[in-house]
Structures are given as structure tokens and as C-alpha cells.
Structure 1
């Protein structure tokens, strides 16, 4: 491949990984290894492409390709770190920060910093310090760097000057972010100047307009979020709503997406309906258009605008899949051309902001293919593959994923994703109910998912329910999950497993429940509430008691914001005083003696969301009456696993655990016992 190997030519073939299947499934590392090629972006003119590419030791560097001759230039690399987020400043210059993907957060003692470099590798300049606590030292080029706590505003703007915008957090006493000031930074001189902020509340978010200048600010005061429009030196209120529930605003409750090239503001809003859609917002009248510009059937609109310098081309969105709605006829035709060349896949097109470049960047994937990055030439109509997400994954070995919908016991329709093992009859399969975290987030979408595909490659069907409380399926679906931890939300998961049995998909007595964070909580409560349904459970980084999230002490600090604890959790999860009886009844920790099924527990020693103390306290309670409990901790990991050796170790443990309880090992053990008894 072009960039992954830094070669001078690319595979001029359609995207797609190896086709031949082998008898043994891929090793765990193939599913969880870091991509050696990632985040490609066209330059504003479309004449160049930048991407992160891997060195032989795995370190990620920044490379730039000239698209007229496909020559490659490595423009930035660190000896002991990885290039992190990057973007084009203009057609000649890029900006990027640093990260260390080979260390956990507990070992990483540096800030991301900020750097700029020309596309030919010249004029490298450090703009922001990388040492925590370092205060504006001078660089070797004589430019005074900004302090470590300035971070790139990840909005590209117009990309036609040497300037970018950076955020400077103002910290609370508990080290949370109280507000964010905005600074305009010259990537050539290193000079920075502050942008005047509105006086109403603390600024949480900034939005640039069509000229790349700050135009919108969202502030927070107590629980109230306010969207403000900058008009000269003053700010005008456009919208106000409850920041944690989304309520109180009616048709005027919206999330700003950005400005079109003509200055029109586009927003995501419900417009008084159940599901959010894409609307124009009339700045003169201060209200939404009567009809949405884009509305999705069965889903909230969640996406971004796609614009050139002079035209709104379309909008990306997430329904069952990631897609693009093109408003411009030429883009609709190009989408159809690419889809015809890459059938059966999701093909997301990225265009240049300006210029007459013939190149489109295509991100192409399916449920069995982790994804390829492809260049499409609109003149020759040829495809050139430039990189893959998971180069060791064989699509023919992967399972198929489908979206189903079932009725919960109270009649609410629950969407769910099922990933089937390859070549299975889709009948009488061992099933893993994989519960997403959050829980007030969208869980999944159609495509290749490493957790589900790893389990499917080992012979398990994987069902991922979007239980009530999940976002993306309308306000009623979200609202139905408030204060339902361990109650109706838990019933939704059980009802999904029972539906799978009734459909003949799942084998009774061969169902395991699993998940991380809230999914870990649901796993534990599943074993409490439905021991006859689930044969086993796997919980990692799992919440063990809601009260502990409020006040559970440990040796460090929680990263749950005080605002969320004060305004969000009492309303959405449960009030620690008013709902104390309910929280006790739905506490896995307090119900630990009722869990008798085999259970695998895993926690990170540096988890600031669900601290290790929470897991240890639960493990001590449950193992007293349950000999089938297994425990593993990863001392330097946080809320989830970052290092590949830890990921491989964990999922290898999961594989063995499932095999013993609902897999071939369990069937063999049952057959052996039966033969012995006879």
C-alpha cells in the first residue's frame, strides 16, 4: 500500500482485504492491533493528502502525498511518541499534536503540545509546551511557546491563512474544566491573542463561521446551556435548554452544526417532534425553519455539514449506517459511481474545499471488512487503495451483522445488532448479550466491530441491544431510560435474549451477558435478576454500585464532573437521597450474595471513572459465596484497555471463559458427565 509502506506507487485495485479463509480464526491481536494507516485528509486544494503512518517500531508519523505523482514525504515523527491529531492549516502547512500510544495514561507524563510544519517537512515549529506544568519557555527558534494547557480547536476553519484556534481551559478546584477560553494562534510566528468571551455563564464550546472566525459560543450556568451568537462586540442569545437532559427549549432547543458558505446557520433540532433533524436557523427571526432540510426515518439526525468554499454540498449522518445526503447533483452522481465500483459496502466520500482536483477520498467498509481508504479519480474513474484499518483481518473469516427490532415487555421497540459467526445456520447458537456503556449514548451501527467480530470468530452470536436510554432513536426512547438502571433497562436486555431464543437464534442455557462500564453494571444486575437466563457474565470496568459513583472514596480523583453529579445523575440515574431505596435495590454490590453464576471481572488500576476500589469491594463480596468468580486487574490501565498486550490477555481470558461455560468446552464437559453417569 502507498502510505503504509511509503512506496511510490499504490495498488490500483478496488478496496478489500484477503479473500481466502483459513481453518483457524485470526489471533486476538489481529482484532485489536492499532491501524498502521489512519486519519487521511485531503489538503484544501485536493492536490495533497496527509495521513498518520507507522514506522517499523509502530510509532506513528505524519506523511504527505503529492497526488499528481503519488510521491510520499514523511514530514514529522517523534523518536519516543506518536503523532496524534493533525489537520491542514492551509495548502502548505499542517498542525499536529503528540501522544504516546505505547504507554497507558498512568505512565504518560507529557501533554500533547502542538506543532506546525510545512508539507515538505520544512519550518517545523513547536507552538505549545509538552511538559505538564511547563510555563511558556522559549523555543530553539526564538518563539515563546504557549503553556502546556492549550489545545487545538478541532475545527478546520477556512484553511486559507497561517492561523488556527486553540482552547485554553480554566480549571476547577477538582481539576475539572470550568470553562474554555479561545485563542487565535499564528502557526508561523507563534503569536497568540485571546478572543473576547461572552459574559453569560462559562463557555463550554466554540463554533467558527464560514470565514473561519469565532461566531457561536455555548455557555453553561448551573444546569442551563445557552447558545450565543457573536455580532461585533456583543453576543445575542439564540437558544437555552437543560444541558444534562436536553429539555426546556421546545422548537428552540438545538445543537449548532455550523455555517454554510452563504452564512446560513444549520442546526440539529427536534422542531417539537420526537426525533432530531437537520434544520436551517433563521438568524434574523431567531427561529428554525418550519420544515427540516434532512430528516431520517427512525433516527435522530447526528452528523456534520459537508461544504466547499462556495457551496453546501451535503451532510453526513448516522442512521443504521454512516452515510451522506448530497444536496449537490454532481456529488450524488459521484456517490453512485463509487458505490457501483464498491458494492455492498458503505462508501463515505471526502472532497477538497476548493480547487479543481480530480481526487476524492473514500472510506469504504462493510460488516465483514474493517475498512479501506481509497482514492477515486473523477476523471479516469479509477480507484487506488492507500491504506487499511486492520491489515491482518481476512474478511472471509468474519461474521455478518444485521439490525433487528424486538418488543420489550411493555411494548417499547428495541433496536439490536446481531453479529453471526461465518457460515453458521443462524440457529441454536451460543449467544453473548454485549451491552454498551454510557448508557445514555448510541451503542453501535452497521459495520465491523472488533469486540463482536472477535466473539463471532470464536463461534458465538453476539447481540448488542440499544436499550431504552440509548440516544439516537428519538427523545422518547432516551427518556424512557431515566432512573431505570437495573429496572426497565435491564428488562430490555433480558427480553432481547428471550426474543433470540424464541426466534431459534440462541440456544437456551447457552447465553452469557457481557459489557464494560454501564455494560458491566448491566452484566452484574443480569446475573442478579435473571440467573435462569444467563449461564455466565463478563464485566470489565463495571459499575458495582451507583452510590459509590457519588461518594466512593479511593486513592485518586474521579473524572465524573461535579456538574454531572449535581445536575445530571440525580435526574437521569437516581438521586442519592430521594432514590436511596431504589439505588440499594439495584446495587450489584448489595446483591452480590445472589450471584451464583460463573463471572469474569476485570478492572484497571488507574481507572478514574470506576476506580479499582469499586471492583475490589465487589469482588470481595461476591467471591464469598461464588467459587466461579475470576478476577484480573491491569495496574496501569484506565477505563478500558489501551495497550495491545493487555487487550490480548483480556480477550484470551474471555475466550477461555466462554468456552468453559457456553462454548464447545461446556458441551464437551456436559457430554463427559452424561457418559460417566450412564
Structure 2
């Protein structure tokens, strides 16, 4: 096995860089995308499939396990990506075209779905905007194909290896228009309408055979509506239905159990099981402080047998301790102590399964576990050039806000000995702000700064996800007040630690983090020496009028609820309104193709700083969106940010 692995690594050596011993590491080591995002084993165990980023694209490679040679590569070319993929059966894969959004490396489906045989034959596009097919050298008319729709995978239909379930959204309708759910043949594109959703902004839960069970969505007024699917018809919940108080998590394969979640007394969410026959609701798990991070699902039955909680590392809680999959999962979490593990199996009876093990210092290693031998063989590292032994641990912290609320976060400190004045500090603010949280897993930006001698503070301020509904909702319409106060309070708290500098502090972030990077220094002009503001909305009135999320009625209603609609209040919460109070130099970073936070925000901020003759630096990339994804641009962003912060801290 080891020789086979070495063969694959040699074949794919152009993705890899040998791990150096000297510190700090080159900036590009943190700017580079993972060399492998996903790795899956075919149902018969004869082939691997892996997504491999290369040159601002992500391709899908099919690998013969016996020879460990790449036998086929699928891709779309530069600046396009293959996101999620699935083994439909032993000979055919289904994969989704994807794009990157936001300040993360996460890929989001573009609505294009493809299927292909592993030998390169019978490649078909099943759904998507670019849908065409060639017949005798000519392209068939798109309209005749009846495919003027984006497709979103609902279910792989594990009991039917020739079909998948797809939710289709018309190109020509608005986002609130009802959508059709199709059963699609992955060999010839033939499709059958299974159901039509009553609303456009809706999520449907189905059983293993593809039959809809229940759905929840928002109407054009932003009001939540729930439906049962019975006798091939949607039936709106009655006003007194007890399930009106729950969100739908999933359905097990035979639709005997519906899994639900609900905030207990408006705080953290609990997981429940609803018996579809007896109508009995049973609470499975609840934690008083943290929301459930992820459910642990048994692949053969679809039953949820446990949950993950994210704290200082990953905590596992099992409420089904006797099932074979539960016993296997517990065995592997013990074996990979200190890691978050994900298991990729086609069935609970699979003798061989793929394991992904990640931690705060390890971006991810793939293993092949053999159940008969009870052994796990290392296959691939997602980022071979980053040695976990020289990465910095991410410590869970908590402090009291000025109004005595417990706030959590993470502190990443360099492994080197602190200088006499303590480590200089970078306060790195996450985006959102609502429903998003900084987590324990490996973080490129935090590790890059720690590797260069900086401590990095990340605050899960009120409004963040993961700590209950009340914790999130209390910060609605308080972007410039409560949220910034939590960030500032966390900064002051960590500055009191003996190994952290009490005067060498800069703040940075992307999206809402970019907003905070300007707003916090406005509120506390003497606290921060500099700010790196990326893709931030600095004029909230302009943002309300121009953001992409305001173009769909059901979504805009929610945005209005959390952000507010009073123009005077939005103006008062805008950094641009108070820019005269800003003392810290700013590095302004933005992409010219940003639709979430239009690039005009960067120019508005630039113009205001010019008018007041305030110092700033400019990093603008015409072809980037909401975040930088080109590897060279990411490298430039990291290097420019590092140089900018270092210069301003030393200037004191």
C-alpha cells in the first residue's frame, strides 16, 4: 500500500511542495489551495475519485486503486471548479460545477450537474445554464431540451443507481417562483416530474426512494410555511400542528422517522425524533451552551446516531450506542483522538471506508480503514507542505462582555517564545455577521500570522451562530453597537494577558469583518494601530439598495429583519458617516466583481479618506469577487496585509 501511495504522490507531484524546516514558512504555503479536497472510494472498492485544485480550477480525477494511476480527469478549465461529487454506481460519477463565494474555500453549486463514466465515456450535462448537447456535429437547441433551469441535487437515490433527484430553478423566473423536483436518468437525461414545490425559497426532505415527505420555506412576505406531502399533493400545516415549532433536519431512509430541531426556551437548539406512525416526539440531544455542530448519520438507514459539538476540539455524543455504525464511529474517534473525523462509506457493511481526519493544526489527512484488519492506512494529505508539528494550537477562550455576557472565541499564538513586550496582536473578525461563527478547525489566516509571530484573536460576538437563537437574535440591527463592543471587549481582555502586547494591535476581516475593521477603530481610535478592511459594506444605505440578496423578496424580508430598514439608522451605523473619527491607517481590499458587497463601497471609503487626507493603502483586483480566489492574488493579499500591519506596529 505504501508503494502504491508513493506512486500516486509522484504522479501528482506538481501539486506538492516539500515541507521546510525553517520558520517562518513562505506566504504561498498559506495561500495555496488544498491539493486534495475530497476523496471517495467506489462501491466495489476498485477506484478512488478525488477533487484536485490546480491553477485556479478544481478537477475530478479517477484513480485505479490497483495501480494508483490516474485513468481519467474531468474539469471545466480555468476559474471553474468541480464541487461535490458522488459515486452513482461502480462505473459512473455525478459531479456538480461550483463557484467560490465569501471569505472561505467552500465551493457552492452553480446549478450545473454532470454525469460521466469513469473511463471517460458517456459524459452528459444533466442540468445547468450552459446545457447543450451535440447531435451530428450540431448543437441542439436549448429550448427543445427543456432545460432552462439550474439544477440542485436533492438526493442520490441510493436504492436506484441509474437516477438522481434534482430540484430545478428556472433561469427566467424569480427566486420565489415554485420549483419542480425531477427524477433524472444519469445515462440519458430523461426526467420525470416527482413534485412541484408550493414556494420557491423552500427546502424539501425526501426518503431514500425520492418521495417528498415534508418541506419548509418562506413566502414572498418572508413568512415561514410548512407542508406535508401526501397522496402526491402538498398539504399546508394546520395552525395547531405541533411541528410548527420545529425545523426539519432530515428523514431516515424508510421515512419512519423525521428529525427535527428547535431552540429550547429560545436558546440553543436541540435535536428531536418524530415517529411518523405514533406521532411521538422524542428529544435526542441538547447542550445548554453550544448548538449542535453536525449530526452523525448512519449511511445505510439514514438514522442519526449521534452529534458533534465544537469547543476545544470536537466533542462526540452518541444516543444510539449499540448499532454497528455507532460502535465503529466511537472506535475511530478514539483512534484519532484530537481530531474531527468524517467517515465516507456507501454502506454500514462496507469493509473499507475513507476517513478524513482534521484538527486545528492539521488541515486534513485521508486514511483508508479496513474493518477486518482494524487498521487505517494513510493515503493522502490535503496540504502536504504544511507540517502540523509546526502549526499553532487554537485555544478556546471565554470572557465577559461589558454587560456581563459570556463570549467565546479562539486565540492562536505563535509557537515561538513571546518577546519582552508580548506578542503583537491581530484581531481577525469573521463575516456574516449573523449565524456565522469562527471554529476550531485549521484556519489559514490565523496560522499565517501566528507563523509570522503574531497572536490572532477571533471573537464569536453576539450575533454569531453556534450559541443559540437568543445569542444570535439579540444582535439584530446592532452591527455598530453591541457587536463592535463585544469585539472591543475581547480585544481588551486578551491584551491583559501577560504574553500579549498591550499596544501593538491591528484589526482585520472580510465582508462584515471588513466593516468591523473600520468601525471598531472609529469607536476606539486609540486601541488599534491599523486596519485591513476587505470587501466591507461601509455605506449601509447603499448596501441595502444594491446587494444581491435584496433582489429576492423572501430573502430581502429576512435581511430587513436582521439589518433594519430605517435609512437614518442605517446611515448612523455606517462607518462612512463617522469616518472623521478614524485615526488608524486602513488597507482597503476589494474585488471588482463582488455582487454581495459591491466594489463601490471601496471607492466610497477611498474618496472619504482622500477628502480628509487620512492614510490608507489600496489593493483592488478587477476580476475577483467577494474574496480573493486566484492563488497569486491570495498570496499578494497575505503579503500586503502582513507588511502593512508590521509597518504600522513598528511605526509606533
- TM bucket normalised to smaller: 0.7 to 0.9
Larger mean CA deviation between 360-369 and 565-574 belongs to 565-574
The question of whether the paired residues in 1 share the 8 Å contact of 2:424 and 2:504 is answered with yes
Counterpart CA distance in 1 for 2:525 and 2:439 is 29
- CA shift at 1:77, angstroms? 4.5
- CA shift at 1:460, angstroms? 0.8
**Is 1:460 aligned to 2:454, yes or no?**
yes
Counterpart CA distance in 1 for 2:7 and 2:148 is 36
Counterpart CA distance in 1 for 2:465 and 2:3 is 37
Which residue, 635, 645, 649 being the options, matches 1:648? Answer: 635
Distance 1:605 1:7, change over 3 A: same
- CA shift at 1:564, angstroms? 6.1
Larger mean CA deviation between 91-100 and 186-195 belongs to 91-100
Which residue, 558, 562, 583 being the options, matches 2:548? Answer: 558
**Is 1:365 aligned to 2:358, yes or no?**
yes
The question of whether the paired residues in 2 share the 8 Å contact of 1:257 and 1:268 is answered with no
- CA shift at 1:450, angstroms? 0.6
Q: Give unmatched runs, 5+ long, in structure 2.
A: 101-108
Counterpart CA distance in 2 for 1:252 and 1:401 is 36
Distance 1:323 1:181, change over 3 A: farther
Counterpart of 1:387? Answer: 380
Q: Cα deviation per residue 1:554-598 (whole Å; 9 max; x = unaligned)? A: xxx734444367422332222224xx2x33332211111111211
The question of whether the paired residues in 1 share the 8 Å contact of 2:214 and 2:228 is answered with yes
Q: Cα deviation per residue 1:525-548 (whole Å; 9 max; x = unaligned)? A: 111100111111111001102111
- CA shift at 1:227, angstroms? 2.5
Which residue, 218, 225, 242 being the options, matches 1:220? Answer: 218
Counterpart of 2:429? Answer: 435
- CA shift at 1:161, angstroms? 2.8
Q: Cα deviation per residue 1:225-249 (whole Å; 9 max; x = unaligned)? A: 22322112222345889xxxxxx98
Q: Cα deviation per residue 1:434-467 (whole Å; 9 max; x = unaligned)? A: 1111001232211210111111111111111010
- CA shift at 1:196, angstroms? 2.5
Counterpart CA distance in 2 for 1:564 and 1:198 is 15
- CA shift at 1:140, angstroms? 7.0
- Higher RCO (CA 8 Å, separation ≥ 6 residues): 1
Counterpart CA distance in 2 for 1:141 and 1:334 is 53
Counterpart CA distance in 1 for 2:225 and 2:280 is 15
Counterpart CA distance in 1 for 2:550 and 2:6 is 42
Counterpart of 1:624? Answer: 611
Distance 1:226 1:565, change over 3 A: closer
Counterpart of 1:541? Answer: 535
Which residue, 541, 564, 572 being the options, matches 1:585? Answer: 572
The question of whether the paired residues in 1 share the 8 Å contact of 2:339 and 2:359 is answered with yes
Larger mean CA deviation between 270-279 and 586-595 belongs to 270-279
Distance 1:559 1:28, change over 3 A: farther
Counterpart of 1:421? Answer: 414
Q: Cα deviation per residue 1:29-66 (whole Å; 9 max; x = unaligned)? A: 211212222222344566654222367x6754333456
Q: Cα deviation per residue 1:119-166 (whole Å; 9 max; x = unaligned)? A: 4444333334653xx677758799985536332415333253311122
**Is 1:319 aligned to 2:310, yes or no?**
yes
Distance 1:18 1:638, change over 3 A: closer
Counterpart of 1:571? Answer: 561
Q: Map of 1:278-297 to 2, 5 A cutoff?
A: 278-284=271-277, 288-289=281-282, 292-297=283-288
**Is 1:485 aligned to 2:472, yes or no?**
no
Counterpart of 2:262? Answer: 269
The question of whether the paired residues in 1 share the 8 Å contact of 2:176 and 2:200 is answered with no
Distance 1:189 1:322, change over 3 A: farther
The question of whether the paired residues in 1 share the 8 Å contact of 2:56 and 2:629 is answered with no
**Is 1:475 aligned to 2:469, yes or no?**
yes
Larger mean CA deviation between 74-83 and 137-146 belongs to 137-146
The question of whether the paired residues in 1 share the 8 Å contact of 2:19 and 2:385 is answered with no
Per the alignment, in what secondary structure is the counterpart of residue 116 of structure 1?
strand
Which residue, 294, 299, 305 being the options, matches 1:308? Answer: 299
Aligned residues: 632
Counterpart of 2:105? Answer: none
Counterpart of 1:123? Answer: 122
Counterpart CA distance in 1 for 2:482 and 2:20 is 42
Counterpart of 2:103? Answer: none
**Is 1:255 aligned to 2:241, yes or no?**
no
Counterpart CA distance in 1 for 2:27 and 2:19 is 19
Counterpart CA distance in 2 for 1:540 and 1:4 is 44
Counterpart of 2:203? Answer: 205
Per the alignment, in what secondary structure is the counterpart of residue 486 of structure 1?
coil
Distance 1:276 1:565, change over 3 A: closer
Larger mean CA deviation between 119-128 and 2-11 belongs to 2-11
- CA shift at 1:633, angstroms? 0.9
Distance 1:397 1:74, change over 3 A: same
Alpha carbon RMSD of aligned pairs, Å? 3.6
Counterpart CA distance in 2 for 1:181 and 1:476 is 35
The question of whether the paired residues in 2 share the 8 Å contact of 1:604 and 1:636 is answered with yes
- CA shift at 1:195, angstroms? 2.4
Counterpart of 1:157? Answer: 157
- CA shift at 1:629, angstroms? 1.0
Distance 1:499 1:598, change over 3 A: same
Counterpart CA distance in 2 for 1:304 and 1:130 is 33
Counterpart CA distance in 1 for 2:278 and 2:610 is 63
Counterpart of 1:104? Answer: none
Distance 1:653 1:319, change over 3 A: same
Per the alignment, in what secondary structure is the counterpart of residue 223 of structure 1?
coil
Counterpart of 2:106? Answer: none
Counterpart CA distance in 2 for 1:415 and 1:157 is 40
The question of whether the paired residues in 2 share the 8 Å contact of 1:516 and 1:540 is answered with yes
Distance 1:147 1:588, change over 3 A: same
Counterpart of 2:439? Answer: 445
Per the alignment, in what secondary structure is the counterpart of residue 591 of structure 1?
helix
The question of whether the paired residues in 1 share the 8 Å contact of 2:157 and 2:209 is answered with yes
Distance 1:208 1:533, change over 3 A: same
Counterpart CA distance in 2 for 1:486 and 1:310 is 47
- CA shift at 1:647, angstroms? 0.8
- CA shift at 1:10, angstroms? 11
- CA shift at 1:208, angstroms? 1.8
Per the alignment, in what secondary structure is the counterpart of residue 184 of structure 1?
strand
The question of whether the paired residues in 2 share the 8 Å contact of 1:226 and 1:239 is answered with no
Counterpart CA distance in 2 for 1:539 and 1:26 is 24
